[in-house]
Structure 1
C-alpha cells in the first residue's frame, strides 16, 4: 500500500535560477554562497497535490529572498 493512499500527488517540473548569482557572473565574480551554475536555469521535480503547493515547496527550499526566481512550471504526466 502506498504512503500516499488517498492523496493525489502530481509531479511538477520547476525551472528556476538565482538572479543574484546571474548578476555576479555577468560581472565575472562568484556569489558568496551559491555556485555559479545557479546563473543558468536549473530543473527540479516536485511531487505535490497542485501547482500552488509545488511552488510553496520550491519557495521553502529556494527562497525568493535569496534571489531565486521561478522561470517555468510544467505539470508532468
Structure 2
C-alpha cells in the first residue's frame, strides 16, 4: 500500500464476470459492447471502508443491469 493510503479503508479483491458476454461466447458470437474476456472471471481491487461500500463501488463501475455478476469478494490483508 502507498504511504498515502487512508488506513480507515480496506482493500477488497472482487471477482466478477459478465453473464451476457458469457452467453454470447457460448453461442460463438461476441457481445456488442463488452470484450469476450468478460466471459471469464476478472479481478478488481477496491479500497473501501467495508465490503458493502466496495460492492457499491463495483456496482457503480460494473452495473448488474449491464450483465455484470460478482462471483466473490475477499478482504486483502
TM-score for both structures, normalised by structure 1? 0.93
1:17 alignment counterpart = 17
Q: Where does structure 2 lack aligned partners over 5 or more consecutive residues?
A: none
1:59 alignment counterpart = 59
Offset of 1:19 from its aligned partner?
Answer: 0.0
Matches within 5 A, 1:24-39: 24-39=24-39
CA RMSD of aligned residues (A): 1.4
Aligned residues: 75
Q: Where does structure 1 lack aligned partners over 5 or more consecutive residues?
A: none
Structure 1 runs of 4+ aligned residues shifted over 4 Å read none
TM-score for both structures, normalised by structure 2? 0.93
Offset of 1:3 from its aligned partner?
Answer: 6.7
User: What do the CA deviations read for 1:49-74 (whole angstroms, capped 9, x no partner)?
Assistant: 00000000000000000000000000
Offset of 1:48 from its aligned partner?
Answer: 0.2
